[in-house]
Chains A and B, each alone.
Chain A
Amino acid sequence: MTESTEDFKNHTRRTLFIFASVLCGTFLMVGASFAPLRNPHMNLVLVLVAACCNAFIVAGFLMHLFSERKMIYTMLGFTAFFTVMLFALTWIAEHDVPQVLVR
């Protein structure tokens, strides 16, 4: 379990690198929201993409998800699937309304 001091230094360096990328991601996010793009929807998409990158880094490196056990992946996989279903099906149900009155 004990790691050598050399490992520890590497680890610290890597951690700082992660920190820098999260900061970058954050500023990118803010930048993307104010960027003068022609289509405002693009801002939204860019901001969300930047957010996802940040989340990816946090989940992958800080929460060690890149090197977890299969069992935990499986569980999170199901969770992700159900979350997506919750989003998708409520969304579709909300928008799938009869356009003409059916008698």
Chain B
Amino acid sequence: MEIPYTVEARPDTGVYNAKLGVWLFLASEVMLFGGLFSAYVLLRVGTPPELWPHGWLNVKLGTLNTVLLASSAITTLLAWAALKVKKFNHYRIYHGLTLLLAVAFLVIKSTEYNDKFHHYEIVQTDGKIADGHLVEKSADFDLVKKTGEVTLHHVRVVEKTEELADLRHAKPPGEGEVKIAAANIKKMQNYGPYHNNYLGIYFTLTILHALHILGGAIVIAFLWGPGSKMWKTEPERFTNRVEVSGLFWHFVDLVWIFLFPVLYLT
């Protein structure tokens, strides 16, 4: 039993099945990220402007990741084009690069996450706020109480939390280490998703995006490795698969093109 139009396009619609399928899927993805972006907008306008964070993320890393994804989009396209002219080896090289770039993206993203979880805001009993990176690996509030103190580096000390909101033009934090006694700590919280809604939506958006990267990378890895056997038996169908997975990959890139400015730059 053969399902028609898996390889050639149906004359009256002009597309083959998987092409239509992936565009339908991408339409739903547009709505998914559309929903999330509209959530972002509402959360942002619902927060007093002086409290909405700016400059909390590392723009250099963000730019680097943007470039990585853009490059991977190009290698994806070249991989497909290579199949079109029947250069299977080129395909392997280009999509190999795509995979490396995807992994690099995820590694950078996870160092960024890691940074957020080591970054603490400590409200002291005198009302002052010390904000910096924890020197020890991990510490929760109870642990700090037991050991008696906590050590931060790259520290800013401010009077009010508002002063930490817009860091775009702020002075870089101090270099040295600062010790704070447990007795002086009123509240201590790292920059996880619970810290405020900016971080909440930041983590939601980027985790979901990273999952898309992961999913796309798995598909590409399959088409690069075991799935590429199909090239020998059904080259056109295989090329279609590569095209369709490429469309998904470009879409993931497209989402990042908006995530980057919205979260890092504005």
Given the complex of chains A and B, what is the CA–CA distance between A86 and B168 in angstroms?
31
- Contacting B at CB under 8 A, from A1-54, are 1-5, 7-8, 11-12, 15-16, 18-19, 22-23, 26-27, 29-30, 32-34, 43-44, 47-48, 50-51, 54
Q: How far is the CB of B12 from chain A (nearest CB, A)?
A: 9
Residue of A nearest to B85 (CB): A8
In the assembled complex, the Cα of A44 lies from the Cα of B52 at a distance in Å of: 14
User: In this assembly, does B38 line the interface, its C-beta being within 8 Å of a C-beta of chain A?
Assistant: yes
Instruction: Note all chain B residues with C-beta closer than 8 A to A79.
Output: 27, 30-31
Known A-B contacts A2-B84, A54-B257, A55-B258; A86 and B265 likewise in contact (beta carbons under 8 Å):
no
Q: Is B73 an interface residue (CB 8 A)?
A: yes
Question: Does B81 contact A30, Cβ atoms closer than 8 Å?
Answer: no
> Which of chain B's residues has its CB closest to A36's CB?
B169
Q: Does B23 contact A (CB under 8 A)?
A: yes
- Shortest A15–chain B CB gap in Å is 6
Q: Are B74 and A18 in contact (CB under 8 A)?
A: yes
Residues of the A chain whose Cβ atoms lie less than 8 Å from the Cβ of B254: 55, 58-59, 63
- Which residues of the partner chain B approach A55 to less than 8 Å between Cβ atoms? 254, 257-258
> Would A29 and B85 count as touching, CB distance under 8 A?
no
In whole Å, how far is B84's beta carbon from the nearest beta carbon of chain A?
Answer: 6
Segment touching A, from B63-71, B145-153, B181-189, B217-225: B63-71
Instruction: From known contacts A23-B70, A26-B67, A91-B42, infer whether A69 and B85 are also in contact, taking CB-CB under 8 Å.
Output: no
Nearest Cβ on chain A to B1's Cβ, whole angstroms: 25
Give complex CA distance A100, B266 in Å: 33
Residue in B closest to A30 when the chains form the complex, CB atoms: B63
A50 to B31, CA, bound (A): 22
Question: Is there an interface contact between B261 and A19, defined as CB atoms closer than 8 Å?
Answer: no
Q: Are A83 and B31 in touch, CB under 8 angstroms?
A: yes
B85–A33 touching, CB < 8 Å: no
For residue A23, which residues in chain B have a CB less than 8 angstroms away from its CB? Answer: 67, 70
A75-B70 in contact (CB<8A): no
Complex interface residues of chain B between 79 and 99 (CB less than 8 A to chain A): 81, 84-86
Whole-angstrom distance between the alpha carbons of A83 and B73 in the complex? 25
Asked, given contacts A19-B70, A23-B67, A86-B34, whether A5 binds B85 with beta carbons under 8 Å apart, the answer is yes
B59 and chain A: residue at smallest CB distance? A30
Residues of B within 8 A of A101 (CB): none
Interface string of B133-154 (1 = CB under 8 A from A): 0000000000000000000000
Contact A76/B23 with A33-B266, A71-B13, A91-B42 known, Cβ cut-off 8 Å: yes
**CB-CB nearest 3 A-B residue pairs:** A33-B265, A83-B34, A69-B14
